[in-house]
Amino acid sequence: MRGPGGARFGTSGVGSTGHLQGELLARRAGASRCEHAPYRGTAPALQDLMAGVIATVFDPLAGQAAQLGGGGDLRLLAVSAPARVPGMADVPTLGELGSADVTAAAWMGLSGPRGLPAPIAQRTTEALLEAMGRADIRARMEELTVHPPARPIVGDAYAAHVRDFAQKWGAVARAANIVAG
């Protein structure tokens, strides 16, 4: 579990949100000797975690749901969501553990090309909101440990969310000297 650089943490790849979170958490904890172990996806990272090759994995809950539920092989240490996750009330958030700035809940966005005609953008947004309001879709997302907000972020608020996300995590990437392959 320790490489030449110190404790090893796995993620689904270089520059992934998990990689950035691991780097930021290590820096906040003063653990200058943490070593990132990039994998080509969640499955190989989880295999090495269970084999003791790495100490921990930063990964979306959806990738680990099968191993976490019902006495699985993994122990969830914390979630990076802003609030505790339904069905996992005993698992603290990183914020509760003193690392609120490491919070980066998984999110999905629907974007269109620059210059998309306003009527098409409006119809797409309406269809998205209608779908996200359906109980069967929300229930299925919850089953997959994807917890959508009560009201999706749309329009200018969505654009601001994307911009703020890129600024925050871009700064982390630059500080940790993470560059695209």
pLDDT tens digit string along 16-47?
Answer: 888 999 888 888 877 766 889 999 988 899 89
What does DSSP assign to residue 14?
T
**Distance separating alpha carbons of residues 76 and 6, to the nearest angstrom:** 22
CB-CB neighbours of 177 under 10 Å: 7
pLDDT band at residue 4 under the 50/70/90 scheme: low
pLDDT tens digit string along 112-146?
Answer: 999 999 999 999 999 999 999 999 998 888 887 77
- Residue of 6, 5, 9, 60 whose CA lies nearest to 38: 9
pLDDT tens digit string along 59-118?
Answer: 887 766 656 655 667 788 888 888 888 778 888 999 999 888 888 877 788 899 999 999
- For residues 91 and 85, the answer to whether their CB atoms sit within 8 Å is yes
| Homologous superfamily in CATH for domain 2-105 | Periplasmic binding protein-like II (3.40.190.10)
Would you state the pLDDT for residue 152?
84
Domain locations in the chain as residue ranges: 2-105
